[in-house]
A and B are shown apart, each in its own frame.
Chain A
Amino acid sequence: MQFPYPRKTSQPPAYQPSRASTFQRRRTLRNLAPYIAGILTLILLFVYFLRPSTPTTTRAPPGTPPVVLVTTLDAKQSEHYKANIIENRKDYASRHGYSTFFPNTTDYDLMSGVPSSWSTVPAMRHALTLYPHTPWIFYLTSTALIMNPSQPLDLKVLDPRKLESLMIVDRPVVPPDSVIKTFSHLKGERIDFILTQDKEGLAGGSLLLRNGEWAKFFLDAWYDPLYRSYNFQKAEGHALEHIVQWHGTVLSKLALVPQRVLNGYTKEVAGSEEGRYQEGDFVANFHGCARDPKRNCEMEMKPLMVRWQELRDGEGRR
């Protein structure tokens, strides 16, 4: 261009009002500010308290137990054995205000020709129905004993932070080489299903299930007739492993904890050393003693049963 000096830009700078008028405006704003803030707060409170609220869940009636212990009893077991088991559970429950539930394996309509171990699933579903306000269901198989009843379950495993510290992450669900691994970033509050893993796979003898819509979905899906008719080798155990690996909505609510926390195996069971029950552990599980014809549950359980009774009576004397 032919101008002697650099041109002004075609975008002139924005209009700057004089200092006096901005000061005036700011002062009126400052005067009015409390009134404006007050009116806004009133409007917000109005909206907050009078908006249509979603129906909250009914409050649990007083006296609701925080946990229900479920154990299915087999008709093949002797009365003496069953009485011992019942005593064992009731003792633990009474110490911490829990309830117990003892259905028989024949109470539920498993299809014909289906192993009675499948009764675990409708038993838990029944517990959800009988105790609709109880937040947790603890299923423990009738081949296990609670040896150390001193700690309540929420301190031991149910508290979300404790659960997060115990959770085993990124572990193949079915060792050694399942491609499905437990999730790494699950929050304790979102976990609805806690169990342990033994050397072969998921250990279904000791399960913690949170009561709610997910529990109903999970148990009904597990109990589907097509899983029972498929004749898995380990019945509901294999069905559980199948569901966990094929359905992400189940895996995302599952947490694995170290075996000795909930489900230590005794020395008669062929298992890994880190899952072996030791004196002071919570549960001793004589896993497989009922299925294996060479073993006898009552005989195996006798020493530990006696030990448990000793410990319990010892406390009474102190």
Chain B
Amino acid sequence: MSLDRSPSPRLSGGWSSPGLTTPHDGAANLSRGLSPSKRSNGTPRDVTWASAKAASARVNGYPSYTSQNQGFFSRHMRKVSEALPYFAHGGQEDRLREKEKLGRGRAGPAIRYLYRRTSYLGGGSKFVIILGANQGGGVMEWKGAREWAIERDSVKNKKRYANEWGYELEIVDMATKKRYAHEWRESWEKVDVIRNSMRKYPNAEWFWWLDLNTFIMEPSYSLQSHIFSNLQATTYRDINLYNPLHIQHPPNGTSGDPNAPKFANYLDPISLSATGDSDPNSINLLVPQDCGGFNLGSFFVKRSDWTDRLLDVWWDPVFYEQKHMEWEHKEQDALEYIYTNQPWVRPHVAFVPQRKINAFPHGACGDNRGVPEGGCGGLDITGKEPKGGKEKECGVQGIHYQEKERDFLVNMAGCEWGRDCWGEMYNFRELSMKLNRHLWEKFKDWWDGEDEEELKKKEEVKKKKEGKKE
């Protein structure tokens, strides 16, 4: 509730509401609860909630102190009994271990979460993961058991990751809203969601948008160690390193028509430079590129004035009216358009190789070309020819998930067009669990060496089946 005039300087200001009395006044009332006669004259300035309660307690005739729950144990019995370990149930330990270790009743992960969040120890609270959940549904796209299962797995995976590293997780309901309904801003709600998150988490610096059909394969990688502690080596600003859209870079302030007369190039040196000001601190948008352009299934945005402006101009009715029939991927194409035509955007956008945060499964964007023998030997963004050349998935042009390289995240983009979303999600989940299993389990697997051959044979059969489906 708001005050329509400033509170008067008198004690309690004449408002009979606990939040608006001064603490001194409230305390005075409580301490004198047993003898409220001085305060009960009922003049408006002294009618406070505390005194009214005391007055009614007197009137009711009950004693003004409670005789029950006076001792230590009677007040804390429930808490104490819950904290005691229980040994009565025999085989329950196994069940407890198999449950997700989300810090239920355990102090270790809780402490780790807290210290990883702080800005001087871990920096986790600076990152917000925004997960767009509850997509589809309604009459247009029926959500069956599989869709719900996919959602459950995806959400659980992100929750576990956020708890592990102390990040914030914002699960956003993307149910088709009326004002975004067909033909009007549909799919641009991502932009509004990011803006709302920026308002909701005022201390966070980086905001990571994730589509629902994604899975974090390696939860042991933190965002800081994977990307942000060394932006210079993990991102590239010159789109000429990998340019599936063939965008002319740097811009030259002209329409690019070679037959036109010589025009003045009116752009400033930083806009004209291929790498902006080459300062990793000025990166405000991190986008991966897939085989056809920018991919907004998994991207990072930094809090800044530049970001506010970008989120503001991302949608415009004049652009929408002229281009929405052409922009099949809506806000993704809009961003590509703005990047191409408005030079102020380029110095603050950096690209991250797709396999770093947005690897595709086999079948999305073509076939998985695999990596050469011996792996890729680390990521190289200097523009040298990657290992294996363009035919393999090394370097900045690598798109597909590589198990041997232990890629971070898989984005099952476009799985609803011709592939099996649930099957992919399930397989990647199992693969992630297998790759990150406990040392003890690895030992057990090695111990049961003779069974391994059978497992391998089973996997090969499965892969053949998948290959037939494609």
Enumerate chain A interface residues (CB-CB to B < 8 A).
1, 10, 103, 107-109, 111, 122-123, 125-126, 128-129, 132, 213-214, 216-217, 220-221, 223-227, 229-230, 242, 246-250
Contacts and interface: CB of A to CB of B under 8 A. Distances in A.
A10 B69 CA distance: 11
Given A122-B253, A216-B271, A108 B263 contact: yes
A109 B308 CA distance: 29
A216 B268 contact: yes
Contacts of A216: 268, 271, 343-344
From A221, A229, A250, name the one whose CB has the most chain B CB atoms within 10 angstroms. A221
Q: Is the interface of A mostly helix, strand, loop or mixed?
A: helix
Contacts of A230: 318, 321-322
Interface string B293-313: 000000000000110110011
19 contacts: A109-B255, A125-B267, A126-B266, A132-B268, A213-B306, A217-B306, A217-B344, A220-B342, A223-B342, A224-B342, A226-B319, A226-B323, A226-B341, A229-B322, A230-B321, A230-B322, A247-B312, A247-B316, A250-B312
A75 to B, nearest CB: 13
B264 interface: yes
B254 interface: yes
Contacts of B319: 224, 226
A227 B321 CA distance: 11
The list of the 4 closest CB pairs from A to B, nearest first, reads A126-B266, A109-B263, A109-B254, A249-B312
A247 to B, nearest CB: 5
B2 interface: no
Nearest to B63: A1
Nearest to B306: A213
A161 B263 CA distance: 41
A317 B149 CA distance: 90
Interface in B232-255: 253-255
B37 interface: no
Given A225-B341, A230-B318, A108 B305 contact: no
A248 B255 contact: no
B268 A128 contact: yes
A246 B267 CA distance: 26
A246 B317 contact: yes
A234 to B, nearest CB: 14
A129 B318 contact: no
B70 interface: yes
Given A108-B264, A109-B253, A221-B313, A226 B342 contact: no
Residues of B in contact with A, size category: 20 to 34
Interface string B132-166: 00000000000000000000000000000000000
A108 B264 CA distance: 6
B70 A10 contact: yes
B339 to A, nearest CB: 11
Contacts of B260: 109
B199 to A, nearest CB: 13
A257 B413 CA distance: 52
Interface in B50-75: 67, 70
A217 B262 CA distance: 25
Contacts of A125: 266-267
Nearest to B316: A246
A129 B267 contact: yes
Interface in B310-353: 312-313, 316-319, 321-323, 341-345
A247 B313 contact: yes
Contacts of A250: 312
A237 B197 CA distance: 35
Nearest to B70: A10
A125 B264 CA distance: 11
A169 B255 CA distance: 39
B70 A129 contact: no
A249 B317 CA distance: 16
Contacts of B345: 220
Contacts of A225: 255, 341
A103 B264 contact: yes
B266 A122 contact: yes
From A103, A217, A230, name the one whose CB has the most chain B CB atoms within 10 angstroms. A217
Contacts of B342: 220-221, 223-224
Contacts of A226: 318-319, 322-323, 341
Interface in B77-92: none
Given A225-B341, A226-B319, A111 B253 contact: no
Interface in B254-282: 254-255, 257, 260, 263-264, 266-269, 271
Contacts of B313: 221, 247, 249
A247 B317 CA distance: 11
Contacts of B344: 213, 216-217, 220-221
Contacts of A246: 316-317
B343 A220 contact: yes
Contact of B312 (A109, A122, A223, A248): A248
B255 A111 contact: yes
Nearest to A216: B344
B264 A107 contact: yes
Nearest to A127: B266
Nearest to B337: A226
Contacts of B322: 226, 229-230
B308 A249 contact: yes
B46 to A, nearest CB: 26
A227 B312 CA distance: 16
Contacts of B70: 10
A213 B342 CA distance: 13
A220 B313 CA distance: 11
B30 to A, nearest CB: 14
Contact of B309 (A10, A109, A129, A217): A217
A129 B323 contact: no
B66 to A, nearest CB: 11
Contact of A242 (B268, B318, B341): B318
Nearest to A124: B266
A57 B172 CA distance: 39
B268 A129 contact: yes
A228 to B, nearest CB: 10
